[in-house]
Amino acid sequence: MDENLLDKWVRYLSCGKGYASASCDFAELIWSDAVTQQQQIELLKTGHANVRRAVAWAVTDLSLDNDAMRYLMNRCFNDSDAVVRRYVWGAMRQTRCLSFEEKQHLIEKLEVEQDEVVLRLVSDVRATPEL
C-alpha cells in the first residue's frame, strides 16, 4: 500500500471515530494483501492502541503462518493494551506458527497479567499440547 494512504488509515484508526467500521474495512485490506506483511509489522509497533488492535485482529483472524503472525506472537504477547493481548493469546491457542515449547517460553516471559480474559487464554495455551 502506498505510504500516504497507509498514513491516512493510521490517522483514521487512531482517532477512534467509526472504529468498528474502520477496523473492518482495514482488515479487508490486510486480508486482500493490499497491506504488506512488513507494513503490518510496522503498524504493530505503533504507539496507537487502536491501530495495533485493528492489525492484531486482522492478522489473527486470517490465521496464516507468515511473518506478520510470527511477529505478533513473538513481540505482542505482552503488549501494553489488553485487547491486543487478548487477540494474541486467543490466536495462540490454535496457531501452529509456534511449537508448544515456544508458547511455553512466551508464557514464562509474560509479565504480571491482570486481565482475566488474557489469564484464561494463557491458561488454555499452557494446558494445550501440540495440535
Q: Is the pLDDT of residue 131 over 60?
A: no
In angstroms, rounded to a whole number, what is the distance separating the alpha carbons of residues 107 and 123? 9
Task: Kindly report, residue by residue over 27-65, the tens digit of the pLDDT.
Answer: 999 999 999 999 999 999 999 999 999 999 999 998 888
pLDDT score at 130:
63
pLDDT in tens, 73-105: 999 999 999 999 999 999 999 888 899 999 999
Contacts of residue 104, defined as CB under 8 A and 6 or more positions apart, other chains included, come to: 126
pLDDT score of 77? 96
The verdict on pTM exceeding 0.95 is no
